[in-house]
Structure 1
Amino acid sequence: MKLSRFASDLSARGLLYAIANDRIHAPVPLDAEQNWQLWTEPKSPLIEWLSRAYPPESMRIAYLDKMLDCDHSQGIEAHYDVSNDFYALFLDTKYRFYTCAEFQTDTETLEQAQTNKAKYLLSFLNLAGDEKLLDLGCGWGAMLKFLQDTGHRGELTGFTLSKDQQIYASQKLDLNVSLTDFIATDFASAAYDRILSIGSLEHVRPHELNQLYQKTYDALVPGGLAVHQFFSLTRAAYPTSMVTIQLFFPGSLLVMHQTHIAAAELAGFKITHDSIHDYRPTLRAWYERLVANQSRALELVGLEIFNRYMTFLPISWLFFQQHEADLHRMVMEKPA
């Protein structure tokens, strides 16, 4: 059965997908050091070529088009609604950010690095204190909680498609977070002073991008700002990595960065900032924390989900190491 699945995956989805799926279904917990090295150490030129060239683009497009037929909520629930307590084992303990942190030194804790990131984004938001703000894909409400902690008095609203996240944010943190698909939902015209997203534009499919940027633009007051942190593709629109990522985020497909820029400018935005940041230290920190909490993780979610995240984190590190995508922080202004 195991050999048959690997051969089938190899033929239909390629080498990286086959190896990743095989390790997800390993009969024992993956060895931490061996697993990290498997994904992150340099490979032979032949293996590198094979992992990038197969399946051919026509097969990738056909498979991904089929995966994109599913509803957004299915993919979000598959990744996020496994256990709030499980995520708490490896995310920062203060805010529970599941997005790229900002490590300014090698000795900083994950908590310090995530606070650095939040301060970084806060500086872009340019808040006086009473602005009305919408957080698209707000997760467990980390940035909304940070804004409250730093004294923001304006109305704060968050959207998420994860039931577990919505319950946590609304009941544990008493935040105004609703179970809303921000991609499919219409926004009221000129309803917000600021619109924010951290790690959620990755779930917007290519054909949905223009409409999202346009309705974001329309939902801002004149002079309003949209601040986004997200990663986007650098070289190819349908790389083999997008096939493998379906194991972890079914129904998601990243977009080329120039497509994001074009969609924002078409909507009318003036891009005032676009910087690139390193996701790898955050992924490594999450991995180390998950490894340190292996016993509890297995109790909470079982072997297959534990091995899935043990595979997801280093394969994501490799994704950024090979510069298939970059993590961007962007500020977009709607002219006054």
Structure 2
Amino acid sequence: MKTMTDNFMISFLQRFDEHPFDVKIHGKTHHIGNGNPTFVVDLKEDIEGKELLTSTSLALGEAYMKGNLEVEGDLFEALDSFLGQMDRFSTDRSKLKKLMFTSQSKKNQEKEVTSHYDIGNDFYSLWLDETMSYSCGYFKHETDTLYEAQCNKVERILEKLCLKKDMTLLDIGCGWGYLLIRAAKEYGVKGLGITLSHEQQKEFEERIEKEGLTGQIEVARMDYRELEKSGRQFDRVVSVGMLEHVGRANYELFVKNVDSVLKPGGLLLLHYISALKEYQGDPWIKKYIFPGGMVPSLREIIHLFGDYRFYTLDVESLRRHYYKTLRCWEQNFSGHRQEVEEKMGTEFARMWELYLSSCAATFHNGIIDLHQILVSKGVNNELPMTRWY
């Protein structure tokens, strides 16, 4: 029985032969690919063939989380070699229907978002930088620290928005509030941040009071779908790392709600993880990291803008910046691994180290991208004619 299982496993793994590696099963070592192995996969327990065929991602991801699969060598390097071949993964979408196509109702999406962002501010503060920015940084220089890269990112976004004193700025999915606080202090704008996370709202409110910005900026727990009925109007709208939670069926609803609160001639900057083509996402990520998450393609979002007379002014890819950001997070997380394990358990710690390393690998391989899109509502002839930032 073990021989049959071993034979299937080795046969299955032969499809990932672009980069040579070894596999240890029941005391025997098997070689995959040509050349010297760059890493070793040590299988402590069998993985059922039907699990690999239903979802290669889930089967291998769960085995790693539980310690049934170990990687000898650098985890990122192994994943970077392996995930560049994701087109060879098996995914039975009919069997994974409930996981891949979750409800996009307000109630369910709030539950999905809070399941990730309400893990705890103490947890995120262990490995994020001082700004508590949980999105792609911008590395102006090779020597930039993570903190400097996050400050650069916010500076770049605010410059693209062409802010002026007393303008109003809406941040959809505001996180812990660093962007709005900086906009208020440096440009004198008035702002509103909305989030579905209790933990983020609590931290942001404390920051507003600490920075002496009460009355100038505010934070509210609000779904983007409530904007249209809010009666509010803004000169500028920004959304960083939130569109991934909206879901394909609701992209137009998102744009429609932004349109309802953005003044004529106003600017929207959308910063989000993107893809070349439309696909339903990764089963392991959806089950354990971002329930309901969906990566929009660049083209489907650009396509929607024309229907609302949003003129596309600028599109910038920050893919390699996100790769570098994730490597920084990975290093920080590794430095606090013992604390995470003591607080959250071994399986949780292994899950998050796999998540951070695998995301770095997918950005490095171009499987996913990160785009910033700047658009104006209608024609705006008052903006600089050059890429001023």
Q: Aligned pair in 2 of structure 1 residues 31, 166: CA closer, same or farther (>3 Å)?
A: farther
Q: Aligned pair in 2 of structure 1 residues 59, 190: CA closer, same or farther (>3 Å)?
A: same
Matched, 1:322 2:365: yes
* Structure 2: distance between partners of 1:296 and 1:202: 29
CA shift for structure 1 position 212: 1.2
1:311 to 354, 361, 370: 354
User: Which residue identity lines up with residue 202 of structure 2 in the other structure?
Assistant: I
* Structure 1: distance between partners of 2:226 and 2:261: 14
TM-score, length-scaled by structure 2: 0.76
CA shift for structure 1 position 17: 2.0
Identity %: 24
Query: Per the alignment, in what secondary structure is the counterpart of residue 274 of structure 2?
Result: strand
Report if aligned partners of 1:157, 1:177 keep a CA contact under 8 Å in 2: yes
User: Which residue identity lines up with residue 97 of structure 1 in the other structure?
Assistant: S
The match for 1:153 is 188
Report if aligned partners of 2:164, 2:189 keep a CA contact under 8 Å in 1: no
Q: Aligned pair in 2 of structure 1 residues 75, 66: CA closer, same or farther (>3 Å)?
A: closer
Report if aligned partners of 1:214, 1:264 keep a CA contact under 8 Å in 2: no
Q: Which runs of 5+ in 2 are unaligned?
A: 1-43, 210-216, 380-389
Query: Per the alignment, in what secondary structure is the counterpart of residue 74 of structure 2?
Result: helix
> C-alpha offsets along residues 263-292 of structure 1, whole Å, 9 cap, x if unaligned?
122122001011111210000000000001
Report if aligned partners of 1:233, 1:326 keep a CA contact under 8 Å in 2: yes
User: Which residue identity lines up with residue 112 of structure 2 in the other structure?
Assistant: G
Report if aligned partners of 2:184, 2:190 keep a CA contact under 8 Å in 1: no
Report if aligned partners of 2:45, 2:68 keep a CA contact under 8 Å in 1: no
> C-alpha offsets along residues 221-253 of structure 1, whole Å, 9 cap, x if unaligned?
111111111112213423xx4323202101112
Equivalent residues in 2 for 1:113-132 (5 A)?
113-132=149-168
> C-alpha offsets along residues 186-244 of structure 1, whole Å, 9 cap, x if unaligned?
35456111111111111111111112112211211111111111112213423xx4323
Equivalent residues in 2 for 1:105-116 (5 A)?
105-116=141-152
TM-score, length-scaled by structure 1: 0.87
The match for 1:162 is 197
* Structure 2: distance between partners of 1:244 and 1:102: 28
CA shift for structure 1 position 66: 4.0
Query: Per the alignment, in what secondary structure is the counterpart of residue 103 of structure 1?
Result: coil
CA shift for structure 1 position 312: 0.8
Equivalent residues in 2 for 1:252-291 (5 A)?
252-277=293-318, 278=320, 279-291=322-334
> C-alpha offsets along residues 99-149 of structure 1, whole Å, 9 cap, x if unaligned?
000112222100111111111101111011211111000111121122234
Q: Which moved more, 1:172-181 or 1:184-193?
A: 184-193
2:245 to 203, 215, 236: 203
CA shift for structure 1 position 85: 1.1
Report if aligned partners of 1:242, 1:254 keep a CA contact under 8 Å in 2: no
Q: Which runs of 5+ in 1 are unaligned?
A: none
Report if aligned partners of 1:138, 1:160 keep a CA contact under 8 Å in 2: yes
Equivalent residues in 2 for 1:189-200 (5 A)?
191-200=233-242
Asked which structure has the greater CA Rg, the reply is 2
Alignment root-mean-square deviation, CA: 2.7
Q: Aligned pair in 2 of structure 1 residues 222, 236: CA closer, same or farther (>3 Å)?
A: closer
The structure with more helix, counted as a fraction of residues: 1
Report if aligned partners of 1:136, 1:160 keep a CA contact under 8 Å in 2: yes
* Structure 2: distance between partners of 1:146 and 1:57: 44
Q: Which moved more, 1:121-130 or 1:241-250?
A: 241-250
Q: Aligned pair in 2 of structure 1 residues 31, 295: CA closer, same or farther (>3 Å)?
A: farther
Tell me which of the two structures has the higher relative contact order, counting C-alpha pairs closer than 8 angstroms and 6 or more residues apart.
Answer: 1
Matched, 1:89 2:131: no
Query: Per the alignment, in what secondary structure is the counterpart of residue 129 of structure 1?
Result: coil
